[in-house]
Structure 1
Amino acid sequence: MTKLTTPYYLIDETKLLRNLEIIQQVRETSGAKSVLALKCFSTWGVFDLMQRYMDGTTSSSLFEARLGYEKFGKEVHAYSVGFSEKEVKAVAKFASKVIFNSLSQLKRYYSFVSDKRLGLRINPGISYSHFDLADPARKCSRLGVVDQDEIMKIAPLLSGVMFHFNCENDDFKNLTTAIDYISKKYGSLLEKLEWVSFGGGIYFTKEGYPIEPFCEKLKNFSEKFGVQVYLEPGEATITQCAELVTTVLDVVHNEIDIAIVDASVEAHMLDHLIYGTRAKISAPEPGRYRVMIAGRTCLAGDVFGEYKLRNKLKVGSEVRIADAAGYTMVKKNWFNGLAMPAIAVRRFDGTVDVLRKFRYKDFKRSLS
């Protein structure tokens, strides 16, 4: 592998394939289709591999829907928390399904998409999330329709519904209980539909997840109501398949050694800052040397975390931040004018392709 200039995101096709093969297994065993959640991962340079194992994409905006249509192909599920009229008219030209977040949006824009397979997001009032910030059924949630009677009134306009009520749910028992609850509460509606999406946030590619019972649950639900089941995996698709590769620029000491790398939590792995989580390190290996690894922006809290590593870090040391695919490249930003990490892919044969580099002109063009 040719030495690349850090920082860069490195996606590993072999590790990505491991997740895709599990998705394929679920598709074949349960009959459920999987569409990639572009809000989590939109790096289209690896879509040629992903599209062999998935049924299409699902989006949260016009731009994501268009990207899925142009670069992934297959099914395009166009959803948004709030469409403008212009956006609805645009997605109507290429979307396979248009899914509305509210009854008011469905009624307002129905005439523009009446020839499409239409869906509605339902908030079932139950959810699974480690964080209130990401809880789809949190108090006063704007995500999805709650009123069951109103939903039944517009049922003739729908071909399907979406229940996106999970976030990193690796608890199969919890998911089983939730599906049973939905079956009981919405049974009369489900019998009228062609398809049902259980959304994303189901961590079924996690090591040790009970795949066979999971598939059986999905298949039984599909057969009971005569519907096509969809899953919308985001992080489940790309978990553990990428690293953010960085280099130590300086080491300072303030009660603890602090290694400053040429990347940033706020600019390049923002979710760790938002949720207050600690990034995982894939290299150097664990050991007894205590160190804080921090980003290079002026934000005082731009810190990846504290670690105990085998090797003492010094200027020029390489540090690899693990699990760097989900909600990273889609959220990277120009804070402090830092150069964004390049995006690279390690192919199956071990060669590395650089898909994109970012330069000053990209920073300049992103502003006025």
Structure 2
Amino acid sequence: MSTPIYIIEEKKLRRNLTLIADVAAKADIEIILAFKAFALWKTFPIFREYINSTTASSLSEARLAFEEFGALAHTYSPAYTDDEFDEIVRCSSHLTFNSLSQYERFHDRAKGCSLGLRINPEYSEVETLLYNPCAPGTRFGVSADKLPEILPEAIEGFHCHCHCESGADVFQRSLAHIEEKFSRWFPQLKWINFGGGHLMTRKDYDVDLLIQMMKQFHERYPWLKIILEPGSAFAWQTGPLVSHVVDVVEDKGIRTAILDVSFTCHMPDCLEMPYYPEVRFANHIDSESGEHVYRLGGNSCLSGDFMSSWQFDHELEIGEEVIFEDMIHYTTVKTNTFNGISHPAIGMLREDGTLEILRRFCYEDYRNRMD
């Protein structure tokens, strides 16, 4: 295709879903999809073959769960508001409050939902502060020293999130802190949600350790239902973003291949995290000089909309593809139309090899956001 496009590959998606469903069955836990990392709702019929629920953090996500996934959401938000709360309740089976004050303000209106409270274990190994939910001064959750010995009557669960694309070994260390600080309240609960960031579909993830940990947790607290809500794990390495070279420019000996996609618009985590994406048929290097070495530049007017540097095995030509690997999780939900930059199309590569275009974007999509 001549247009840029995100391509989710059905075979790889089903591979991940099969592994996740297998972990859930062997560990006797529920694993649900977090929309904050993946929300391509046209793929939900596939997801429903493997999982039963999703997690939402806004009214729009809760509606997506109810109306498109076909199941009530496990909902958590840092701040529920009066005008949206009743509609969120309508779309939710579980509803977690970020603070005791939010609980006091809204719990009487949450009829029919199993209510939870987010806790802060004050421990996380996430090194990038932008993504660390337990960093000092965090706005997320209640620390143990602020909880009453007897929980509010309607609280049935705890929700804890302190990982980001982490391994089972990290979860093992985090779990020790969670139990040390909060296990004395477990007899008052029915469920515990250990949040997201459990990257169980990554090749080096110790799936057996995760299953063992959850089985042992069940032995210690057999009355507690265990929930995990990863996002990245579902769509991890399920497809690329295909872009094209529009121009090649040079300044001070640095060559930049300008593409028809943008880092700030279409791959924002690359700049925020930051991390260097894998580019097919190219190697990331530290130098900005050398044979066939290019910065890759976006097509927005933001000066910093570029990343350095990749070495190809040939001179890039206008019109040829530059393919960014693993660009489905988080990327597709965080895109924006800054500068009026055209949004890449979204497609699915079916198991039979056919490419189905799920969505193309046009001027009206940009215009209507400004309406």
TM-score, scaled to structure 2: 0.94
Q: For 1:61 and 1:151, how far apart are their aligned partners in 2?
A: 28
Equivalent in 127, 130, 135 of residue 124 of structure 2? 127
Pair 1:260-2:263 in alignment: no
User: Corresponding residue for 1:211?
Assistant: 207
More displaced 10-residue stretch of structure 1: 288-297 or 90-99: 288-297
Q: 1:357 to 1:111 in 2, by over 3 A?
A: same
Q: For 2:307 and 2:62, how far apart are their aligned partners in 1?
A: 32
The correspondence of residues 89-100 of structure 1 with structure 2, limited to 5 A, is 89-100=86-97
Q: Deviations over 1:141-168 (max 9, x none)?
A: 0101114453443343211110111112
SS of equivalent to 1:314: coil
Q: 1:196 to 1:314 in 2, by over 3 A?
A: same
Pair 1:332-2:335 in alignment: yes
User: Corresponding residue for 1:57?
Assistant: 54
Q: CA deviation at 1:283?
A: 4.2
Q: For 1:111 and 1:37, how far apart are their aligned partners in 2?
A: 26
On the 8 A contact 1:196/1:227 being kept in 2, the answer is yes
Q: Deviations over 1:59-82 (max 9, x none)?
A: 111110110111112351111110
On the 8 A contact 1:283/1:321 being kept in 2, the answer is no
Pair 1:342-2:342 in alignment: no
User: Corresponding residue for 2:288?
Assistant: none
Q: CA deviation at 1:285?
A: 7.5
User: Corresponding residue for 1:23?
Assistant: 20
Q: CA deviation at 1:41?
A: 1.0
Q: 1:48 to 1:152 in 2, by over 3 A?
A: farther
Q: 1:129 to 1:279 in 2, by over 3 A?
A: same
Q: For 1:46 and 1:264, how far apart are their aligned partners in 2?
A: 25
Q: CA deviation at 1:305?
A: 3.2
TM-score, scaled to structure 1: 0.94
Equivalent in 63, 71, 83 of residue 74 of structure 1? 71
Q: CA deviation at 1:215?
A: 0.5
Pair 1:142-2:139 in alignment: yes
On the 8 A contact 2:32/2:230 being kept in 1, the answer is yes
Q: 1:210 to 1:33 in 2, by over 3 A?
A: same
More displaced 10-residue stretch of structure 1: 180-189 or 13-22: 180-189
Gaps of 5+ in 2: 286-290
SS of equivalent to 1:345: strand
How many residue pairs align between the two structures? 364
More displaced 10-residue stretch of structure 1: 277-286 or 35-44: 277-286
SS of equivalent to 2:240: strand
On the 8 A contact 2:301/2:339 being kept in 1, the answer is yes
On the 8 A contact 2:151/2:188 being kept in 1, the answer is no
The correspondence of residues 94-243 of structure 1 with structure 2, limited to 5 A, is 94-148=91-145, 150-170=147-167, 172-225=168-221, 226-243=223-240
- The ranges of structure 1 where at least 4 consecutive aligned residues each deviate by more than 2 angstroms after the TM superposition are 147-156, 282-289
Q: For 1:247 and 1:125, how far apart are their aligned partners in 2?
A: 45
Q: 1:248 to 1:220 in 2, by over 3 A?
A: same
On the 8 A contact 1:289/1:312 being kept in 2, the answer is yes
Q: For 1:309 and 1:285, how far apart are their aligned partners in 2?
A: 7
Pair 1:46-2:43 in alignment: yes
Q: 1:152 to 1:343 in 2, by over 3 A?
A: farther
Identity of aligned residues (%): 34
Gaps of 5+ in 1: none
Q: CA deviation at 1:210?
A: 1.5
Q: CA deviation at 1:284?
A: 5.5
SS of equivalent to 2:247: strand
